[in-house]
Every structure is written in C-alpha cells, then in structure tokens.
Structure 1
Amino acid sequence: MQAIDYCRQKADQSGSSFLAGFRFLPEKQHQAMTVLYAFCRELDDVVDDCSDAQVAQTTLNWWRMDLAKVFEGEMPEHPVNQALRGPVADFALPHDELAAIIDGMQMDLEQARYPDFEALKLYCHRVAGVVGCLIARILGFGNHQTLVYADKMGLALQLTNIIRDVGEDARRGRIYLPVDELQRFSVPAQSILSLKATPEFAALMAFQIERAKQIYREAVAALPPEDKRSQRVGLVMGSIYYALLQEIERDGGQNVLSYKIAIPGPRKKRIALKTWLFGFKP
C-alpha cells in the first residue's frame, strides 16, 4: 500500500464532518488535506487507544522524531509522515505548527482538567487552531490576517467537539469544561463523571454553546474579504459544525451526557453546497 492510500483509508474510516468539504478541492489540495487529517487522526488515536500512559508518551516521542525527518530530508518510517513530505514542500507547512499538534496530545496525557478558559484555549490552539492555520496554508491566502481567522475557527470547531463529546469524555474520566465555570454554575465534576443531567448542567451547557457561537461569528468576521473565496472549504467545515452546535442546542444541551449528536450525511452535503455557493453567516 502506498503512503497516500494509507492516508485515504484512515480518512475514509472516520466518517468525520471534517472531510465534508474536501470534495470541492483540486487534487493536490485534496490530497494534502487528506494527509493532514490522517496525521491528526493518528496522533489522536495514540492518546485515545493507549491505556498505558507511558506507552502513549513513548509513542508521541517517536512521532516527534519521525516528523522531524520530514524536514531533515530523511525518509520517515510512518506512511503518514512519508505522505506528508509532499504537502510540506508544496504548501510550505511549518514544522512548528505540525509539532504543536503533538504538544496538544501531550497535554491530554498530562492533565484531565483545565482550570479556566485561557488554559483550555491553549489546548484548543494546539490541537485545532494550528490545524486551522495549516488548512489555510493549503487553501492559500494573500492576507496574513487569514491565519487569525483560521486559528479562531479552529477554536470554534474544537469547542463544538468538546460540547458534543462531554458524555463520551466523561466515560474516559475527562472533563474539558473549565473548572472555574463548573464552579460558577454549581456543577460538581462528579455529577458529570456520573452522567447526571441537572438544571445546573443545562445552564452550563447553554453558556458553552453561546460562547462557541460567538467565536464562530468572530472567526468569520476576521476573514479578509480577498481570501473568502480561497478559504471556502474552511467555511464549509465551519458551517457544518455550527449546524451541529445548533442541533445540540435544540436537543436541550444536556443530552450530550447520554448520546452523541451528529449531522446526517445528506444534510452535511446540503450544508456544504449551500455554503460553497452563498458563504457562511453564523
């Protein structure tokens, strides 16, 4: 199996909303986005699938070394890093941004709580904001302000993931919602870990949803007009995740403890086409 085929298989197995806008891209960009997604997915799997933290740490250290080979002119061992050499050369993807994703996964090994939103934002920047910037580089831009948009859109997408996955994360012993906000809304961590839906938890989730919606609005406002056309794929992803956020809100917010809400494939395609033609206005 060729390296790019491995990445395509990894991407196809996920069924992620992240992939919905890729079909609109020219082949070289489509391939680069697929490789980037596979890179992120592999790293995420290290943390999610390794029950032994020491093994996960050793694996992340190995990924750092193998990624470095991409930039040192050596042949990486992992097929994803082998495939990454093309996009790095074609789109000038920075080593520090790709390495920051590994730093974000490192945070998952070191902590299961975030004291406040600023601490959570650093995590989101590493696992999603820099991904947004890498996507912006693949798509192309003329105004450096577009990287500000991309980082903020990454934050909005990651906050949506956190909101959607509260129950799933709790089953793993993790709570990404900031500790000080749990305290402000009188939601004990143990009640989330026990998957107890309460009026206080519903109020907490309403707050989380509204803040995420505001960050979507700020992200779109930060995108320079001259780069809106080139960044349409990012806007497609944003609109799909924003629709997911609205669906969670309509479902009552607190039901994320019980099940994972998703947007059906046909609806994703309709949202993607509408956004491609008319833009994204959160």
Structure 2
Amino acid sequence: YYSFLALSGEKFQGMCALYAFMRVTDDLGDEPGESQEEREASLHRWQSELQRLATERLDSHPVWPALHETIKRFGVPIEFLSSVIDGVRMDLHPVEMGTFPELERYCYHVAGVVGFCCLRIWGTNSPEADRLAVDCGLAFQLTNILRDLKEDSGLGRVYLPAEDLERFGYSKRELQEGIRGESFRELMRFEVGRAREYYQSAEGLEAHLADDSKPVLRTMLRIYRGILDEIERRDYDVFSGRIRLSAWAKSQIVMSELVRSRWRW
C-alpha cells in the first residue's frame, strides 16, 4: 500500500479497493483451519458475489461497496477480477510447475490481470500498455516467489519450474529442507536475472501513463526491485527469515518519487 501514497484522490481510493479485494481473495485461499473443500466453497461464493457486483451494489462484505464504485468509475472489467480468483483457486492443490510457460500462465492470473486493472485506474488502455503490464506483474510475482520459497514449499507449492531445478542440479527435497549450496545459488542467480529482465521491460510502461500515475509505477518498481537486491545481498538466503524492505525504506522511496514528480526531474 505504500506505493499508493504516490497517487491522490479517486485513483488512490481505486487502488485501495482493488488491493483490498486482492487481499481478501488471497486470504480465502489460505484460510487457516479450513479444508480444501471449504476454501473452494468460499472462493466460489466470493466469485458469485463478484459477478453480481457488475449489476448491483452489495453490502455483504466491506470490500464490495468500494470495489463497486471502482468498477463503475474506472471501467475495470469483472472478468479481470474473476481471473484473479481463478489463479488463487490454482493454489488450493499442491503446485508444481514443469516449465516456465506454465509458470507464466499462473502469473498471468494472479498478477498480469491485476496489472490490467491498475492500468484502468491509472487511466491507460492500449494493447502495448497491457503487454508491458503483464511483464510488470510477472516481475513482481517472480520476486514474491523467490522471497517466499520456504513458506510455499512448506505448503506443497513449488513454483520454480522443474526444468530449472533440473538444469542446476537442485532437487525439490533440497528446497523443502532449505539446503543452500552452490547449485541453489546458481539457480537463484538465474531466477533473479530472469526477474530483472522483466523489470527492465516494465520500465517502458511509464511512457504510457499520465503524469499523475507515473510516481506509483516507479515506486512499485523500486520497492520490488529492492526486495531482489536484498535477496542478493543476503547471498540468496531466503530460508532464515522473510526478506522485506523496512517501512522507513519504503516511505523514503515514496517521498523521493513524489518530489521527483513535483519537480519533473
């Protein structure tokens, strides 16, 4: 949410509503103490209510009124939001990705379509911007995957493609046991490098945005890139504790981008 501080007025409210929806959706898929069937039922009810939101205002959850207003104001398509729920539903089962294209498809649902929604709120709608938004979402999701390797593997979710593990001689068992030898470091160097390529592509998205929306994109890119930098600084040790930027570091990024936007440098 720190990056949203670079926005003002209706766009800020729209982004808050969008990410509140994302947070609730993600929580429904990971609800502690619930069975897989119960989580599936919760997501089904959530998706059904979302479909109703296209034509009526709902008050059954605090997120719905704000999201309804965001959909009306910015023309965010319901199918984009529904696709996010489909992506979270994929996580209800043990996850293993065989190839990178499989991982790309997953990331499209949980991150790429979120980028489409953001573009509508930011006031941009073009095929090229959509393509770059997919790259941006992929960069963010790859960063999340690398950061959360320990937590996800404990839940039976291995997002790193099997073809990558095989290429660098690193096994699923080693991942689950948190073994961090040279093969793991080589694997992580490769994955971090891949993520950085998508960040570089995502930089082109700024040219498609209105001036008042550029700071939020730059802020998000810097915060997520900062996580990658920290992963590298720790020599790829993502097993000892969750890697994150401090609130102070994120607030400094927000302030610097607001100043940059103000003075156009």
TM-score by length of 2: 0.92
Counterpart position of 1:264: 246
Counterpart position of 1:27: 9
In the alignment, the residues of structure 2 paired with residue 61 and residue 183 of structure 1 have an alpha-carbon distance, to the nearest angstrom, of 36
The 1:211/1:277 distance shift into structure 2, 3 A limit, reads farther
Q: CA deviation at 1:92?
A: 0.1
1:219-239 superposed Cα distances (whole Å, 9 cap, x missing partner): 113x26252623331221111
Q: CA deviation at 1:138?
A: 0.6
Paired residues of 1:93 and 1:134 also in contact (CA < 8 A): yes
Q: CA deviation at 1:139?
A: 1.2
The 1:95/1:169 distance shift into structure 2, 3 A limit, reads same
Q: CA deviation at 1:132?
A: 1.3
Percent identity between the two aligned chains:
34
| Counterpart residue identity of residue 80, structure 1 | V
In the alignment, the residues of structure 2 paired with residue 47 and residue 40 of structure 1 have an alpha-carbon distance, to the nearest angstrom, of 11
Confirm or deny that 1:147 pairs with 2:130. Answer: yes
Q: CA deviation at 1:109?
A: 1.4
1:130-180 superposed Cα distances (whole Å, 9 cap, x missing partner): 111111111112644222222211110111000111111122222111111
| Counterpart residue identity of residue 76, structure 2 | L
- 1:76-91 matched pairs, under 5 angstroms: 77-91=60-74
In the alignment, the residues of structure 1 paired with residue 169 and residue 91 of structure 2 have an alpha-carbon distance, to the nearest angstrom, of 25
In the alignment, the residues of structure 1 paired with residue 183 and residue 58 of structure 2 have an alpha-carbon distance, to the nearest angstrom, of 53
Provide structure 2 residue ranges, at least 5 long, that are not aligned to the other structure.
none
Confirm or deny that 1:202 pairs with 2:185. Answer: yes
Counterpart position of 1:11: none
Counterpart position of 2:196: 213
Confirm or deny that 1:66 pairs with 2:49. Answer: yes
Confirm or deny that 1:184 pairs with 2:171. Answer: no
| Counterpart residue identity of residue 220, structure 2 | M
Q: CA deviation at 1:79?
A: 2.0
- Across the aligned residues of Structure 1 and Structure 2, the Cα RMSD in angstroms comes to 1.7
Residues 227-236 or 19-28, more deviating? 227-236
Paired residues of 2:57 and 2:64 also in contact (CA < 8 A): no
SS at match of 2:252: helix
Paired residues of 1:70 and 1:76 also in contact (CA < 8 A): no
Q: CA deviation at 1:35?
A: 1.0
Counterpart position of 2:28: 46
- 1:1-40 matched pairs, under 5 angstroms: 19-40=1-22
Paired residues of 1:142 and 1:227 also in contact (CA < 8 A): no
Query: What count of residue pairs does the alignment treat as equivalent?
Result: 259
1:172-211 superposed Cα distances (whole Å, 9 cap, x missing partner): 2221111111111111101111112121111111111110
TM-score by length of 1: 0.86
In the alignment, the residues of structure 2 paired with residue 56 and residue 251 of structure 1 have an alpha-carbon distance, to the nearest angstrom, of 35
Paired residues of 1:69 and 1:76 also in contact (CA < 8 A): no
In the alignment, the residues of structure 1 paired with residue 208 and residue 58 of structure 2 have an alpha-carbon distance, to the nearest angstrom, of 38
Confirm or deny that 1:100 pairs with 2:83. Answer: yes
Counterpart position of 2:216: 233
Residues 142-151 or 48-57, more deviating? 142-151
| Counterpart residue identity of residue 165, structure 1 | D
| Counterpart residue identity of residue 23, structure 1 | L
Paired residues of 1:128 and 1:155 also in contact (CA < 8 A): yes
| Counterpart residue identity of residue 40, structure 1 | M
SS at match of 1:259: coil
The 1:262/1:121 distance shift into structure 2, 3 A limit, reads same
In the alignment, the residues of structure 1 paired with residue 183 and residue 112 of structure 2 have an alpha-carbon distance, to the nearest angstrom, of 30
Provide structure 1 residue ranges, at least 5 long, that are not aligned to the other structure.
1-18
Q: CA deviation at 1:214?
A: 0.8
